Amino acid sequence: MADARLPHLCAYKYQRTTTELLTPFRNSQSEKQHFFATKCCGNSSRFLDKVSAQATIQQVRDLGRIRAIDLLPDFVQIAGFVLPDFTPDSYTRLYQISDLLATERRGLVATKKELEETQVALEASYKVIAGLTEIGLSMSKKIEKMKVKKQQVRANHVECHQKFQARIHEAEDSMQAQHLIIEALVDEKDSLLQTIHGLQEANNAPAPFDGDWEEEPEEEPKEEEIEDIPLGEGEIDDE
C-alpha cells in the first residue's frame, strides 16, 4: 500500500528540515534504519534540502527508486506524512494536470510579454499623438494669425480706396465749379461787349474795335484725366 502512495508525495509540503528527518535514524542502533538513513535520504537529499518546498514530478520519480526499501513505511510514519489512497488513474491525471499547468504557465508568460510589448507600443503611439496634436494646435494658431492679418490688409485697402474715391469726387466737383465760373465770365464778357457796341452806336462813334479785330477763341482748360485707381495688393502711401 505504501508503494502505491509513494509517487504522490508531491501533493504535500514538507514541514520538517532534512536534519530533523534524519535525527531519529542517526540516534538509532538498528542497522536497517542506518542503511535507510544513508541510502534513501542521501539519494533524495537534492529535493529534501529545501524547507517547505513543493515536490515536483522529478522528485516523485526519484522517490520511485527506493520503493524496494522495506523501511519506507517507517520513514513515512516518522516524517509525519498522511497519504491518501491513490489509483493508477490518479497518477495519470496528476501528470496531465502538471503538463497542463506547465503549458498554461508558458502561455501566461507569452501573454505577459505580449502585453508589455503592447504597452510599449501604446506609449509610443501616445507620444506620437501628443506630438501631432501639438503641431496641429501650432498650425491652427498660425492660420488664425494669417486670417487676422489678411483681414487687416483688406480693411486697409478698402479704406485707402474710399479715400482716393473721395478725393476724385472732390476734384471733379471743383472742376465743375471752375467750368461754371468760366461760363459765367464768358457770359459777362459778351454782355459787356454788347453794352459797349450799344453806347458807340448811340454816340455815333466809330467802333474802337474795327479793323483786324479777331476775337480770340476761348481756350478751355484741359480736364485732367483721372483714372479710377483699382484695388490692389500692397500698401498705399496716403500723404
- Summarised one tens digit per residue, pLDDT across range 152-197 is 999 999 999 999 999 999 999 999 999 999 999 999 999 899 898 8
On whether residue 184 sits in a domain, the answer given is no
Residue range(s) defining the domain that contains residue 79: 2-86
On whether residue 196 sits in a domain, the answer given is no
pLDDT at 175: 93
On whether residue 175 sits in a domain, the answer given is no
Separation between Cα atoms, residue 226 and residue 100, nearest integer Å: 101
Predicted confidence band at 142 (pLDDT cuts at 50, 70, 90)? Answer: very high
Instruction: Work out the angle at residue 237's Cα, subtended by the Cα atoms of residues 232 and 239, and round it to the nearest 5 degrees.
Output: 140
* Mean per-residue pLDDT of the chain: 69
On whether residue 167 sits in a domain, the answer given is no
Predicted confidence band at 79 (pLDDT cuts at 50, 70, 90)? Answer: low
Segment holding 91, helix H or strand E: helix 88-203
pLDDT at 45: 45
Does position 78 have pLDDT exceeding 80, yes or no? no
On whether residue 35 sits in a domain, the answer given is yes
On whether residue 9 sits in a domain, the answer given is yes
Burial class (CB in 10 A: 0-12, 13-18, 19+), 25: buried
Domain count, the chain: 1
On whether residue 166 sits in a domain, the answer given is no
58: left (phi over 0), alpha (psi -120 to 50) or beta: alpha
Does position 146 have pLDDT exceeding 70, yes or no? yes
Does position 239 have pLDDT exceeding 90, yes or no? no
On whether residue 146 sits in a domain, the answer given is no
Higher-scoring residue by pLDDT: 146, 11: 146
